[in-house]
Amino acid sequence: MSDTAELTFELLKRLHSEFGDFRRDIASIKMRLSSVEQHQATQAVDIARINVELDQIRGDISLIKRRLDLAEA
């Protein structure tokens, strides 16, 4: 074999031996990404709930201001 062919063959053998590591790393990254996506979805629901509560509080404050004649016209 020529030097180029031998070097290419050695490189391919090394890549083949490391392929299992790549697959494990990708599986790990997928699991971590899934976890991040779940946390993001939970946070979005929490933020929506907080916004509803804030709207209720703002409505209550407006009602209190009107009853105490503190509301601006």
**Contact by Cβ (8 Å): 1, 9:** yes
Give the span between the Cα atoms of 49 and 58, in whole angstroms.
14
Contact (Cβ atoms closer than 8 angstroms) between residue 45 and residue 52? no
Cut 0.85: pTM above it = no
**Model pLDDT, residue 47:** 98
Predicted local distance difference test score (pLDDT) of residue 1:
59
Q: Is 54 exposed, middle or buried (0-12, 13-18, 19+ CB in 10 A)?
A: exposed
**pLDDT tens digit sequence for 34-63:** 999 999 999 999 999 999 999 999 999 999
Q: What is the mean pLDDT of residues 67-73?
A: 78
pLDDT at position 27 is 95
